[in-house]
């Protein structure tokens, strides 16, 4: 009976992870219609996400354990800084190379997680997991459009470096969160998002122009709130709660759902091309995700 309950909980956590990744995949649709720089959007989403979670926890009548935060503060601080730096590097990758190439580089993160998890977390690395990750990565090649890439220059390689750097930082955050103890997903996410937002603000002030009055419309404010509340506050709390219960390798495989959803929605809502390569890539990624869990 106990084993059945454990399996049921694992299934629920996996469904929660699938939902979270699907929501993450929709953020590009919102960002496309916000006429602000990536850094400003990132800092605002971090601040709104933090405030929402604090209010949500208070409404639920739950207490924030400052002792738990204090006990885990070093890891929370480091991971929060890494999240902020991750946002910055990913946005820089978008500036220096194509979105497709930056996405491919960013989704090398699961590879780093799977490679490091046996060393850092002592998790077993199976042949099936390795094969599934390779298949998923091949799927990312199809989806990214790298196979159709034209000339490659220094700027392109700079974008790749930023993209891979973002992937490394993301992998480090996932692995670091495994070492957090006796702290709720809400407490963890509140601190990490707040520190991430603080990390991004100096980057915005020194490298980007502040928005002018005409750019801040009611529609923009509404979309920023949605990104902060739904795509940041709620989904980050759900995602990091699964990090504490599911294996790092499982998290790595399921993370590929995010780009698949993003590409499908961009094709449907933004009328971006969904060619045969993209369809093949989506099948490879979703197929490898399913096979890895049966």
Judge whether residue 151 has pLDDT over 60.
Answer: no
Judge whether residue 268 has pLDDT over 80.
Answer: no
Residue 2's pLDDT is 67
Write out pLDDT tens, residues 213-229: 667 888 889 999 999 99
What confidence tier does 34 reach under pLDDT thresholds 50, 70, 90? Answer: confident
In sequence order, what DSSP letters do the residues of 82-94 get, joined into one string? HHHHHHHHHHHHH
**For residue 94, what are the CA distances in angstroms to 37, 38, 39?**
12, 9, 12
274: region left, alpha or beta (phi > 0 left; psi from -120 to 50 alpha): beta
User: To which H or E segment does residue 70 belong?
Assistant: helix 66-71
The mean predicted confidence, pLDDT, of the chain is 81
What confidence tier does 24 reach under pLDDT thresholds 50, 70, 90? Answer: confident
Q: In this predicted structure, which of 78-87, 102-111, 125-134 has the lowest mean pLDDT?
A: 102-111
> Distance (Å, rounded) from C-alpha 178 to C-alpha 244?
6
> Distance (Å, rounded) from C-alpha 54 to C-alpha 233?
9
CB 148 within 8 A of CB 98: no
Bigger pLDDT: 2 or 86?
86
> Distance (Å, rounded) from C-alpha 231 to C-alpha 109?
20
Residue 83's pLDDT is 92
pLDDT > 70 in the chain, percent: 87
Q: 155-161: which pairs have CB atoms within 8 A and are 24 or more residues apart?
A: 155/96, 155/97, 156/96, 156/97, 156/101, 158/96, 158/97, 159/92, 159/93, 159/94, 159/95, 159/96, 159/97, 159/98, 159/101, 159/102, 159/105, 160/93, 160/97, 160/101, 160/105
What confidence tier does 194 reach under pLDDT thresholds 50, 70, 90? Answer: very high
Query: What number is the average pLDDT over the span 120-143?
Result: 81
Judge whether residue 152 has pLDDT over 60.
Answer: no
Judge whether residue 154 has pLDDT over 70.
Answer: no
**For residue 199, what are the CA distances in angstroms to 75, 87, 88?**
15, 10, 9
Judge whether residue 273 has pLDDT over 80.
Answer: no
Q: Which two tokens stand for residue 262?
A: 């993003």
What confidence tier does 146 reach under pLDDT thresholds 50, 70, 90? Answer: low
Residue 105's pLDDT is 77
pLDDT > 90 in the chain, percent: 16
Residue 118's pLDDT is 85
CB 111 within 8 A of CB 137: yes
Residue 46 burial (CB count, 10 A): 28
Query: What number is the average pLDDT over the span 49-53?
Result: 89
């Amino acid at each position: 009976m106990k084993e059945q309950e454990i399996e049921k909980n694992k299934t629920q956590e996996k469904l929660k992870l699938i939902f979270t990744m699907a929501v993450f995949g929709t953020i590009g649709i919102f960002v496309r219609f916000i006429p602000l720089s990536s850094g400003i959007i990132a800092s605002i989403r971090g601040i709104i996400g933090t405030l929402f979670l604090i209010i949500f926890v208070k409404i639920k009548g739950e207490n924030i354990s400052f002792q738990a935060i204090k006990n885990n503060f070093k890891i929370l601080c480091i991971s929060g800084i890494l999240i902020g730096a991750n946002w910055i590097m990913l946005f820089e990758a978008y500036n220096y190379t194509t979105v497709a190439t930056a996405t491919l580089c960013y989704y090398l993160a699961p590879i780093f997680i799977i490679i490091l998890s046996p060393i850092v977390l002592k998790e077993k690395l199976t042949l099936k997991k390795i094969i599934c990750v390779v298949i998923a990565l091949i799927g990312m090649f199809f989806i990214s459009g790298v196979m159709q890439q034209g000339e490659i220059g220094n700027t392109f390689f700079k974008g790749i470096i930023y993209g891979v750097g973002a992937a490394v930082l993301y992998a480090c955050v996932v692995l670091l969160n495994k070492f957090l103890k006796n702290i709720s997903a809400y407490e963890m996410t509140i601190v990490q998002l707040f520190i991430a937002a603080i990390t991004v603000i100096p980057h915005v002030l020194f490298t980007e122009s502040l928005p002018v009055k005409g750019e801040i419309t009611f529609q923009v404010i509404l979309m920023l709130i949605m990104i902060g509340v739904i795509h940041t506050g709620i989904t980050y709390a759900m995602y990091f709660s699964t990090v504490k219960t599911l294996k790092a390798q499982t998290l790595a495989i399921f993370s590929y759902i995010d780009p698949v959803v993003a590409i499908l929605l961009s094709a449907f809502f933004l009328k971006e091309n969904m060619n045969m390569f993209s369809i093949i890539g989506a099948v490879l990624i979703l197929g490898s995700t399913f096979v890895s869990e049966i």
